[in-house]
Amino acid sequence: MIRKTRLFTPGPTPLLPAAQFAMAAADIHHRTAEFRALYERVLGQLKTFVGTKNDVLLLASSGTGAMEAAVSNLTSPGDRVLVLTAGKFGERWEALTKAFGCAVDVVSAPYGETFVAEQVKAALKGETKAVFVQATESSTAVRHDVAGTAKLLKGAGSEALLIVDAITGLGTTKLDVDGWGVDAIIGGSQKAVMIPPGLAYLSLSDRAWKVAETSRNPRYYFDLRKERKNARKGESSYTPAVALIAALGASLDWIAAQGGGDLVAGREALVDNAETCAAMTRAAVEALGLRLFGRGPYAAAATAVLAPEGVDSGVLVKELKSRFGAIVTNGQGEMKGKLFRIAHIGLFDYMDTIGILAALEQVAAANLKLPGFAWGKAVATAQQVYAERTSVAAAELVNA
């Protein structure tokens, strides 16, 4: 049979057609009224999407650029910071803060798990200036407790800034940025907003802006003070990624349309969509006789599935691609060969989710000897989860 190539990867994610058209049409110069109107509109929409009253800034970089900007603007050499890590992206916080000369304390949890609050509390010191964490750790498909961490910091009377990499958290999990007291939140274009890689966005709290004013790190391209000053005039400090910004505007319009024209409702619908795709997938792979990686709490951004004992997960990744055009990701680093990940972040719907699970049944039938395998078991389980979740949602609407 012919194969359509489809991404099932947690970044880059599938592109929204409306955003692709907007990109192709974005033949405008950035020092014009036309661009300023676009930029101001998109920055305003992003505030709503992130869910903050604070400015959201856009940077022409991958997500890691905004992570670096958070470190260079919000710490100074010698600052004591605490990194919470349980995967490849947590390790990136550790490497970044060390690169900028912080004195780094680390609380780690095994891959596939999240931190124990008691350990975080014990590691927090009076002089801890910042705490770094992921909302969802994409390498293990685990969700961390941002609300709980914020509460813990408040409860301990800590003055530390809470800096959250929500690059796969935004659009897949509920985040009350201002309400919880998150001081820096970071997103990336190639994730929930369904456009190509190349843009990062972030927002800082008032407290964080105060720290940014006095940081002793050298900053130039990623000087957030300068970027905010320009953004408030509808400008970016340097040549912005014009086409991606046009795409982002189209994508945020589309998300708003999912909420009947309301971007907050649209964002909630996007989160709910990812949660439903993830719940369908988790139940289905277990019904198939495979095991989820780790103990969770599981993220909705992606699902990490263990290859059976003695099977290289790379073989399953290859089979899904060569037989069905489905691109799933292998494990990263030491998880390579052990697990594969199916994404739900962004533009994945019922049809996509049922499709990848049906393809996985084919690969399992041909390549794995799973005890109790029967055709349709995974798909039927996913169908049931879908029906239950969507009928509960429908009933809630009726009762509201």
Ligand X SMILES: *Cc1c(COP(=O)(O)O)cnc(C)c1O
Q: Which residues bind ligand X (CB under 6 A)?
A: 10-11, 62-64, 89, 134, 138, 165, 167-168, 188
Shortest distance, CB of residue 69 to ligand X, whole angstroms?
12
CB of 343 to ligand X, least distance (A): 10
Least separation, in Å, of the C-beta of 373 and ligand X? 32
Indicate the residue type of 386. Answer: Y
Spatial CA neighbour of 146 closest among 183, 113, 110, 175: 175
Residue 331 Rama label (left phi>0; alpha psi -120 to 50; beta): beta
Residue type, 62: S
Q: How far is the CB of 388 from ligand X (least distance, A)?
A: 29
| CA-wise closest residue to 254 among 9, 8, 7, 15 | 15
Question: Looking at beta carbons only, is 200 or 283 nearer to ligand X?
Answer: 200
Alpha helices in the chain (DSSP H): 17-24, 33-50, 63-74, 88-99, 117-123, 146-155, 177-180, 206-214, 224-231, 242-258, 263-288, 313-324, 350-367, 377-399
Lookup: tokens for 37: 């109107």
- 167 vs 304 by CB, closer to ligand X: 167
Residue nearest to ligand X (CB): 63
Give the residue with the Cβ less far from ligand X, 89 or 254. 89
User: Which lies closer to ligand X via its Cβ, residue 73 or residue 173?
Assistant: 173
Q: How far is the CB of 104 from ligand X (least distance, A)?
A: 18
Which tokens in the block code for residue 231? 């953004």
Residue matched to tokens 């997500």: 63
* Closer to ligand X by Cβ: residue 135 or 161: 135
Cβ count near 146 (within 10 Å)? 24
CB of residue 167 to ligand X, shortest distance in Å: 4
| CB-based contact 6:14 (threshold 8 Å) | yes
| Whole-angstrom distance, CA of residue 199 vs CA of residue 243 | 10
Complex with ligand X: residue 49 or 386, whichever CB lies closer: 49
Kindly state the smallest distance separating residue 295's Cβ from ligand X, in Å. 19
Q: Between 88 and 385, name the residue whose CB sits nearer to ligand X.
A: 88
Structure tokens at 48: 């709503």
Q: How far is the CB of 75 from ligand X (least distance, A)?
A: 18
φ, ψ for residue 341, nearest 5 deg: -125, 135
CA distance 185 to 283: 31
> Residue 358: helix, strand or coil by DSSP?
helix
Q: Which is nearer to ligand X, 140 or 381 (CB)?
A: 140
Amino acid at 302: A
Least separation in angstroms between CB 122 and ligand X: 25
For ligand X, the closer of residues 62 and 76 by Cβ is 62
